[in-house]
Amino acid sequence: MATSLNDQVVLVTGAARGMGAEHVRGLVARGARVLATDVLDDEGEALAASLGDRVTYTHLEVTDESQWRGALALAESRYGPVSHLVNNAGVVTFGSVETMEPAVFRRTLDINLTGCWLGMHVVIPSIKRAGGGSIVNIASTAGLQGYANLGAYVASKWGLRGLTKTAALELGRDNIRVNLIHPGPIRTPMIAGLGDELAATQPINRIGEPSEVTAMLLFLLTEATYSTGHEFIIDGGAVIGQALDVIKAQGDR
């Protein structure tokens, strides 16, 4: 029942660096053709140049519907209908519920949640034209638990869980699966300087690597052919609890 990615078209957001760039490399290694999108144009273009004609880069602000439609048109003209969408783009913003500016809160939800909705809204007809496929939304362990001073980010990722399940219910009969990945602390520019602290009390007490998330992504695209609307966690065990011996040792210092 495994699905081949050979010559299938995948649209990836937030693809210029970090997890997104690793996803693009992994997809190309499996034979896919990729439209890589981001707002970091220099890095995105360098990534595409390094991977040859199976990757095309274009600028995409995920909150802009017209840019989504332009990106889709480019993908279809270059490679054909899109079979898979990877909603990877996101931002982290810090601030308490009391002190965060409303504009910052709204912007965070616009990128992390509305941007994913727009992507699905625009790309679903193309996936139907391809005969079916899948959508993978990238959330966070912040979609499974609260984090102080990350209220906007947490709200956006919890919202993405519900959106994913709703889309899965709507699209199953169209042969389109929709699933969600919750990464924990992963070695990317987004958490530079925070990863070691975040991982300290996990059962697997190290930062995760982008390639480990890519492995799960590839599994969902090719192997998890009977899974839809579900959540897959890559977090070193972070959300199962905290190791009390580690907490005590930290308290003793």
The catalytic residues are 153
| Cβ–Cβ under 8 Å, residues 82 and 11 | yes
CA distances from 210 to 23, 26, 60, 163, 217 (A): 8, 10, 22, 24, 11
Provide the CA 190 distance to its chain's centre, in angstroms.
13
Distance, in Å, from the CA atom of 118 to the CA atom of 104, rounded to the nearest integer, reads 19
Q: Which of 21, 79, 95, 75 is nearest to 51 (CA)?
A: 21
Q: Would the CA dihedral through 110, 239, 204, 24 be positive or negative? A: negative
